[in-house]
Amino acid sequence: MALTWTHKDRGEIRVHENLEELSIDLVDYIAEISEASIKEHGAFCIVLSGGSLISFMGKLIEPPYDKIVDWAKWYVFWADERVVAKNHDDSNYKLAKDNLLSKVNVFPRHICSINDTVSAEEAATEYEFAIRQMVRSRTVAASDNSDSPRFDLILLGMGSDGHVASLFPNHPALEVKDDWVTFLTDSHKPPPERITFTLPVINSAANVVVVATGESKANAIHLAIDDLPLPDSSLSLPARLVHPSNGNLIWFMDKQAGSKLDRFKFSE
Ligand SMILES: O=C(O)[C@H](O)[C@@H](O)[C@H](O)[C@H](O)COP(=O)(O)O
């Protein structure tokens, strides 16, 4: 059974016994938000990331989800992408396509991925333009209080350095406010060229999920969730800057990633 609680300003925290339990809870949650979004506005705009997250979504292609999810209403985006060809093993698009999207009935025209034939800068500009068109046509909702899209669900992984999407500690991309999508040519993790959603876009979503597993994430999880002064500025821990202004934030983790949370220290 997951241990679940709500932190006063860091959202809901779900600590799972093991990865199997985490993955069942995650797909249940995705299916629930999908259904609610489709009921509310006729579409489900979901944003994916790379890394192990996609493997935790694997149960979506199995019964009962394969049949109960209304795949035809899904619109799929990425919070970040490596600027490589779509058939390259580093591509987040390829990862999701091979393991999820090719196995369910999402319409190819509802999949909004980057142009892999242009530079990182051009790919970021084109991707933002495509999303702006979808906000204009109301496929993607608009935020009520800022110039941002309001995605139904943004799914983020987290690195052991606390990076989310391709927003790395102390990188200038963290400070971009006016663009929805920005680009990097010096990513702290290879490959160096990437595009990423900016913080205002992440923080305008209706629901944001951060998934973190394994002991290597325990320190970053502790710093991102517990009330601690950070060693330097908050820009040193991107996950701490995930804070939806008018939406829900849920942290899905296993007990190894949660092992340094104050909650467990105090209950020992
Ligand atoms: O673009 C990338 O380099 C990865 O997608 C990366 O951002 C990943 O999401 C996190 O590092 C968490 O990855 P894991 O969940 O696999 O540890």
Going by alpha carbons, the residue nearest to atom 6 of ligand 1 is 51
Using the atom order of ligand 1, give the atom closest to the CA of residue 165.
Answer: 7
Predicted interface score ipTM higher than 0.90: yes
Per-residue pLDDT at 228: 83
The full DSSP string for the chain is: --EEEEETTTEEEEEESSHHHHHHHHHHHHHHHHHHHHHHHS-EEEEE-STTHHHHTGGGGSTTHHHHS-GGGEEEEESEEESS-TTSTT-HHHHHHHHTGGGS---GGGB----TTS-HHHHHHHHHHHHHHHHHTTSSEE-SSSSSEE-SEEEEE--TT--BTTB-TT-GGGG--S-SEEEESS-SSSSS-EEEE-HHHHTTSSEEEEEE-SGGGHHHHHHHHS----SS-GGG-GGGG---TTSEEEEEEETTTTTT-HHHHHH-
Token pair belonging to 245: 């202004």
CATH of residue 152's domain is 3.40.50.1360
Residue 4 located in a structural domain: no
Ranking 55-64, 130-139, 192-201, 257-266 by mean pLDDT, the lowest is: 257-266
Using the atom order of ligand 1, give the atom closest to the CA of residue 53.
Answer: 15
Token pair belonging to 203: 């923080």
The pLDDT of residue 248 is above 90: yes
Residue 94 located in a structural domain: yes
Going by alpha carbons, the residue nearest to atom 7 of ligand 1 is 165
pTM to 2 decimals? 0.97
Using the atom order of ligand 1, give the atom closest to the CA of residue 187.
Answer: 3
| Cα–Cα distance measured from residue 194 to residue 34, given in angstroms and rounded to the nearest whole number | 28
The pLDDT of residue 5 is above 70: yes
Domain of residue 34, residue span: 12-267
Residue 26 located in a structural domain: yes
Instruction: Express each pLDDT in 73-97 by its tens digit.
Output: 999 999 999 999 999 999 999 999 9
Residue 3 located in a structural domain: no
Pocket of ligand 1 from Cβ distances under 6 Å: 49-53, 80, 157-159, 163, 166, 189
The domain tally of the chain equals: 1
Ligand 1 midpoint to CA 160 (Å): 9
Going by alpha carbons, the residue nearest to atom 13 of ligand 1 is 51
| Cα–Cα distance measured from residue 94 to residue 128, given in angstroms and rounded to the nearest whole number | 20
Per-residue pLDDT at 231: 65
Ligand 1 midpoint to CA 92 (Å): 10
Residue 6 located in a structural domain: no
Going by alpha carbons, the residue nearest to atom 8 of ligand 1 is 51
